[in-house]
Amino acid sequence: MGAGEGRAYRGVSAGDRTAARRAALLEAALDLLGGDPPAAATMTAVCERAGLTERYFYESFRSRDELLVALLDQVAGEVLSATVAVLDEEGGADVLVRRGLEALVAVLGGDPRKGRFALVTSLEVPVLRERRAVLLTDFEHLLAERTRRLYGDRAWVAPDDRIEALLFVGGLAELLAAWLAGTVPATREQVVAAAARHYEATAHR
């Protein structure tokens, strides 16, 4: 370890400073990718937006692609945490489903940059498109498992459980992308209500 490495500076440890710089780079990338074309989010542009030199970019990421994948994973993680936290609570299936959808939409609609990046921009960049497909499959598996918990013997069994989950996850992603783009003129409450009605009508026998 070189001189000065690992030491606290103004009460902040080296690890915390590194984490803060990484977070700043991710936030800068979200700023750029939440509105501008993907090509605008170059490594140089991200560093400039974050107020950091390229040296600090390579401290956390080996490439622009790695940064973009990390950002998509971060947004997906926020959606997953918010949704699962609700579904783990006590309550009837209809109540938990609606509240889970409210939590999901709150993440992606509360900060439209996140929704546009995760649902629209992710389709325009090859490395993100691949990662998006993996994440949607993860959500589809989670939904199928949670549906079995919610509806028990009434839930669909394999392979219909995964088919229904995939249809719902894919359709919800398209709905939210259109809503965020303004092509579906609806309130957040209307979007949640429509998604809940669809899920409740198709998730079980």
Residues 6+ positions from 161 with CB-CB distance below 8 Å: 144, 147, 148, 155
pLDDT in tens, 81-122: 999 999 989 889 999 999 999 999 999 999 999 999 999 899
Residue 3: CB atoms within 10 Å: 5
Structure tokens at 163: 């088919």
Place of tokens 């009460």: 11
Residues 6+ positions from 73 with CB-CB distance below 8 Å: 131, 135
Mean pLDDT for the stretch of residues 58-82: 95
User: What is residue 28's predicted lDDT score, i.e. its pLDDT?
Assistant: 95
User: What is residue 39's predicted lDDT score, i.e. its pLDDT?
Assistant: 79
Inform me whether the pLDDT recorded for 61 exceeds 80. yes
pLDDT in tens, 124-172: 889 999 999 999 999 999 999 999 999 999 999 999 999 999 999 999 9
Separation of alpha carbons 27 and 78, rounded Å: 14
Inform me whether the pLDDT recorded for 13 exceeds 90. no
User: What is residue 62's predicted lDDT score, i.e. its pLDDT?
Assistant: 93
Mean pLDDT for the stretch of residues 61-81: 96
Tally the C-alpha atoms within 13 A of residue 134's C-alpha that lie toward its C-beta.
Answer: 10
Q: Are 50 and 81 in contact (CB under 8 A)?
A: no
pLDDT in tens, 127-138: 999 999 999 999
Residue 98: CB atoms within 10 Å: 20
Residues 6+ positions from 103 with CB-CB distance below 8 Å: 82, 83, 85, 86
Query: pLDDT grade, residue 29 (50/70/90)?
Result: very high
pTM of this prediction?
A: 0.89
Inform me whether the pLDDT recorded for 10 exceeds 90. no
